[in-house]
Amino acid sequence: AQSVTQLDSHVSVSEGTPVLLRCNYSSSYSPSLFWYVQHPNKGLQLLLKYTSAATLVKGINGFEAEFKKSETSFHLTKPSAHMSDAAEYFCVVRSGQAGTALIFGKGTTLSVSS
């Protein structure tokens, strides 16, 4: 079965410093992986997705993630945090090669201080 584990429930950074949100996945085959962001009282927004093309995936708002099969990881990074990045971030895997349900991690709360 597919699963994802977000290694940190809460990450705090200062504005202008790098962001690292960690995610490990479990999959019996090459997975489809996503990062979503959820701002308070708003819907989930797709940041980026990995679908077995380039292992370094660039997303919106300066975020990127690198798929590392040897480490079963898909960590999300951003070189310089902005106050507007404060939100809940979810690492997500598609449920199967034929299935289309999304399996979400428990989420990481990103706090950004000035």
Partner 1 sequence: DAGVTQSPTHLIKTRGQQVTLRCSPKSGHDTVSWYQQALGQGPQFIFQYYEEEERQRGNFPDRFSGHQFPNYSSELNVNALLLGDSALYLCASSLAAGAGYGYTFGSGTRLTVV
Residues engaged in binding partner 1 (CB under 8 A): 32, 36, 41-46, 49, 51, 90, 94-95, 99-107
Nearest approach in angstroms of CB 32 to partner 1 is 7
Looking only at the bridges linking them, the beta strands covering 33-38 and 23-26 are: unpaired
Nearest approach in angstroms of CB 79 to partner 1 is 26
46 and 62 Cβ atoms separated by less than 8 Å: no
Closest to partner 1 by CB, 15 or 22: 22
112 and 100 Cβ atoms separated by less than 8 Å: no
Nearest approach in angstroms of CB 30 to partner 1 is 14
- Determine the distance from the C-alpha atom of residue 28 to the mean position of all C-alpha atoms in its chain, rounded to a whole number: 20
Closest to partner 1 by CB, 42 or 114: 42
Query: Under DSSP, is residue 83 helix (H, G, I), strand (E, B) or coil?
Result: helix
